[in-house]
Chain A
Amino acid sequence: MTAVFTRGTLDGSREAAGADGQLLPPRADCIADSAGGLTFDVTDPGEGGAAHLLLRLRDSDPAVEVRLPLTPAGDGRLRAALPSSVELPEGRWNAYAQVESGEPRRLMPGVNDLRSLVDRAPSGSRGHVAVRIPYATKQGNLSVRSWLRAPHAETGELVIEAAGLAGHGRVYGTGLTDAAYVEAGLRGEPGRVVRAPVTAGSAGASEFRFDLGYGALAEGVGVWNLWLWPAGEEGPRVRLARLLDDVADKKPIFTYPVKRVPARGGGTVEVGPYYTVDNDLSIRVA
């Protein structure tokens, strides 16, 4: 029996080709900077002509796209930059490489160096928070998750107490007044809300903490979304979310214990906070 050879040759001439001779999908390494900018280094798609990195907002119709020129990086690869100044509306952006007006080819993820996103603490001076986190999709392709919020309420430590949640956070793009409060709104039932007072934290007008008792929430089975009203009823309503790090999908990683609390009609329900698929903070009552 002679072994069946399937890949590679001695002269390396098929480096960019798969077993069947087709071009391998281009691969991109991403480096994030602390300001929110991204640099993409893409393996040369192997076709001549002007190349672009194309970001296409998922489920957008007509397609919302951002095109970034790919220029030689000097190491045989092509580089594109997405500076923090380029606005990228919130959503999931699929990444492609496109040569001239040819068919865009989906990019595969390489090395994502996101260390500068860890424990990000932007100054807030810009009035908004822009977050872009490259990640590998379930299918193994490269996408970029983007958030753009003004103002923004970033959650930090959440402490689960006997019958409630003590939350900590920081607000960006607006200040806190004495009238500030946190509101939990039951999803699907507008107007059904529970309020909790907010106290300013050590950093004065931007850090806050709140205590939200589970008792009132236990009366509504379902999902309660949490909002900050930094200036009370008169001001904006800001969704509580955790965005300022390198983790694209918080839900499976930032998890918290659930507490069993008495329900209205007798019996008990389980109550606990979780991050939604958009990394917003909610409380589930089940």
Chain B
Amino acid sequence: MHISFLIHNAYGIGGTIRTTYNLANTLAEHHDVDVVSVLRHRDEPVFTPDARVRLSHLVDIRKDSPGYEGDTEAYRTPAKVFPSAEGRYGQYSALTDERIAAHLTSLQSDVVIGTRPGLNVHIARQARRGVLRVGQEHLTLDSHSKALRLQLRSVYPRLDVLTTTTEADAAAYRKKMRLPGVHVQAVPNPVPAPGIEPADGSHKWVVAAGRLAPVKRYDLLIRAFDKVRRERPDWRLRIYGGGKQKDKLRKLIDDLGLYNHVFLMGPAHPIEPEWAKGSIAAVTSSLESFGMTIVEAMRCGLPVVATDCPHGPGEIIDNGVDGRLVEVGNADAIAGGLLELINDDALRQRMAGAALQDSERFDPAHIAERYEDMFDGMLQRGGSLGGRVRGSMHRARGALLGGAYAVRDAGRTVPTKGRLA
């Protein structure tokens, strides 16, 4: 199978970028995979993809590059295809519209995967017929503005597949968006094995990691730890990450006199060796679109105490078995969850073992398999219905039928002009 990812910027840092590479690298073991980055702002990507994954870009915005296009008229002209209510709209332009369209109408792949709403819109509207159109939603439906939801609602029905990171979000899309015939499926983000020994549970440290943003509610975690400290002053807390809340959190730590117990560690790359220094992980968010850090910590052998917030934690943690879910927004509940694991070494060790075992299901090999099975099923289902992909049927372009089979049978032959959308 030839699978092509379309991503905003494959050269930067971020959850979507890391997740895309993790998936692409694993799929590349059995398939022909490329990652196409709309923008390129630096020479080398921060995360290096597997050598089998082909990485390319559509618009070069490196000021010192001979191919620099950031000063062109088209780059300064607002985008028309990319939806205006999308968060990244400001970085899109007539130039990206044109380049993405050209890329999608000349696709050589069997499957194209969009990695954010605006790019999913491009794919729904422009991907060459015969290519399975897959849109990934890394954020949740209820995190999209009403305007964006309206814009997506008119276009998403032309996708073949829409994936979410949680079952809860998949249910929301099925219920709130009219997506007749679109295959909506939850596929969790892949998280690779950490490449270091798991934590041995001997260190009296609680570890948290993430952007220092209000949604992470680290203020609540710090207040909870004030209670933990009163009962167990031998345990301490490290919070990894940077962000705008830093000064506020620093002040809270100082006001509560927790400066010998709670430490703002700054960003850490890679994060895995930092998890391994702890014995319990804490996630206190009011919202987690997936809960990547929960899986990361579990893969390092840490049981996680997490707020039972929408959407991810409850689908990752088996409450009381491999971690503890506690009430959202409640410092006492968080402290209670932490103390339960701090005060019971045997329980903590048992949960740590379960966390290690249970988190294996997020291994990229398993996640890639779920995508493969889905793609196979979709391509076959499309075939049995008489058209290779539902989208083609849906738009009743009967002439495509033979062509679509031809594409699959011929593999990666250059398409004829007649098959271009």
Contact = CB atoms under 8 A, between A and B. Distances in A.
A2 B106 contact: yes
A278 interface: no
A115 B55 contact: no
Interface in B181-203: 195-197, 199, 203
B254 interface: yes
Contacts of B44: 7, 18-19
Contact of A157 (B58, B98, B260): B260
B314 interface: no
A73 B103 CA distance: 45
Which of A4, A115, A158 has its CB near the most chain B CB atoms (within 10 A)? Answer: A115
A255 B55 contact: no
A133 B227 CA distance: 33
Nearest to A119: B203
Contacts of B254: 256-257
A113 B276 contact: yes
A5 B270 contact: no
Interface stretch (B76-84, B261-269, B373-381): B261-269
Interface in A80-126: 111-115, 118-119
Interface size class of A (residues with CB under 8 A): 35 or more
Contacts, number: 94
Which of A1, A12, A252 has its CB near the most chain B CB atoms (within 10 A)? Answer: A1
B151 to A, nearest CB: 25
Contacts of A10: 32, 52, 54
Interface string B243-267: 0000000100010010110011110
B103 A118 contact: no
Interface residues of B, number: 45
Nearest to A16: B51
Given A18-B44, A158-B260, A114 B270 contact: no
B78 to A, nearest CB: 20
A154 interface: no
A197 interface: no
B317 to A, nearest CB: 24
Interface in A16-37: 18-19
A256 B257 CA distance: 9
A15 interface: yes
A267 B311 CA distance: 54
B272 A159 contact: no
Nearest to B4: A3
A207 interface: no
Interface in A130-154: none
Which of A19, A158, A246, A257 has its CB near the most chain B CB atoms (within 10 A)? Answer: A257
A63 interface: no
Given A1-B58, A3-B57, A253-B266, A111 B277 contact: no
Contacts of A6: 40, 55-57
A18 to B, nearest CB: 7
A267 B260 CA distance: 30
Contacts of B53: 8
B369 interface: no
Nearest to B276: A115
B57 A8 contact: no
Contacts of A14: 51
B102 interface: yes
Given A5-B55, A19-B44, A114 B277 contact: yes
B56 A3 contact: yes
A199 B277 CA distance: 33
A8 B277 contact: no
A240 to B, nearest CB: 16
Closest 10 CB pairs of A and B: A3-B56, A1-B102, A12-B51, A257-B254, A157-B260, A15-B51, A5-B56, A8-B51, A115-B277, A113-B273
Given A7-B54, A111-B270, 18 more contacts: A1-B102, A1-B103, A2-B106, A5-B54, A5-B55, A7-B45, A8-B50, A14-B51, A19-B43, A111-B196, A111-B273, A113-B197, A114-B277, A157-B260, A159-B260, A246-B277, A253-B265, A255-B250
6 contacts: A1-B103, A3-B58, A4-B60, A10-B52, A160-B257, A246-B277
Interface of A: 1-10, 12-15, 18-19, 111-115, 118-119, 157-160, 246-247, 252-257
